[in-house]
Amino acid sequence: MDLFSTFFNMPVLLNSLPQLLSGLLVTVQIGITSIICGLIGGLFLAITRLYAPTIIQVLVRGYIDIFRSIPLLVLLIVVYYALPFVGIRLSPFLSAVTALTLVSAAYTAEIFRAGIEAIPHGQFEASAALGLSNRHTMVDVILPQAIRIVIPPLTNNCINVMKDTALASVVAMPDLLKQATQAQALSANPTPLIGAALIYLILLWPMVYVVARLEKRYSRGR
């Protein structure tokens, strides 16, 4: 067998395409859910780390350091296979989303923290002089400016989350990689894996392009 009939077999690819698209839908569902939860959790952690009482700041810092250090694959295995021993049983979908969210929130928290700390302190003083409360200062003055700063790294983090959804296959989640692996086994040909790689490329390449444009735009604005 030559290279093309082994890795680029069109009949095999066409036969496996419905299965791959089904896995793509699951991948997108896991990715979007994890990204949204990670953004919300990361913003909460960032604000808590900056402005909560000292003991809570220490706990949040410990959470961020721990979950930035744990490999996602290990965390997935712990969430799906170990938690049932303590009475917590999650579905494959919830296990994948939980693990991805825990890690994504830790990275997102550091991104938001850096963005908030990049705002000049004079903005806080000016808001206080205008009589704005702490909540209105953060919501109306600080966060809109901080978000503009952190959009490029946040988008880059979203790309990483989408790529990491491939690890959901270890918890029997029928995502794109899992479906490609099964199609490969059924056809005895690795072409479905190449097809999955191309689908990931088509899905993520526009996001990479957006990150580059955003970085260029905001650096020019500074």
97-112 tens-digit pLDDT: 999 999 999 999 999 9
Average pLDDT, the chain: 89
Q: pTM score, two decimals?
A: 0.88
72: burial class by Cβ within 10 Å (0-12, 13-18, 19+)?
A: buried
- Looking at the structure of the chain, the number of domains it has is 1
The answer to whether the beta carbons of residues 124 and 145 sit under 8 Å apart is: no
Question: Domain of 180?
Answer: 3-221
Taking residues 177-182, what's their average pLDDT? 89
Look up residue 13 and give its two tokens: 């690819």
Residue 35's Cα: distance from chain center in Å?
5
For residues 161 and 96, give the distance between their C-alpha atoms in angstroms, rounded to a whole number. 11
Dump pLDDT digits (tens) for 2-18. Answer: 677 778 888 898 999 99
Taking residues 152-181, what's their average pLDDT? 88
Confidence grade of residue 78 (pLDDT, cut at 50, 70, 90): very high
Angle (CA) 9-14-15 rounded to 5° is 100
For residues 151 and 185, give the distance between their C-alpha atoms in angstroms, rounded to a whole number. 41
The answer to whether the beta carbons of residues 85 and 77 sit under 8 Å apart is: no
Q: What's the pLDDT at 126?
A: 86
Whether the per-residue pLDDT at 161 is higher than 80: the answer is yes
Whether the per-residue pLDDT at 133 is higher than 90: the answer is no
Q: What's the pLDDT at 152?
A: 83
Confidence grade of residue 220 (pLDDT, cut at 50, 70, 90): low
Whether the per-residue pLDDT at 156 is higher than 80: the answer is yes
Confidence grade of residue 61 (pLDDT, cut at 50, 70, 90): very high
For residues 30 and 103, give the distance between their C-alpha atoms in angstroms, rounded to a whole number. 14
Whether the per-residue pLDDT at 64 is higher than 90: the answer is yes
Q: What's the pLDDT at 1?
A: 59
CATH number at residue 108: 1.10.3720.10
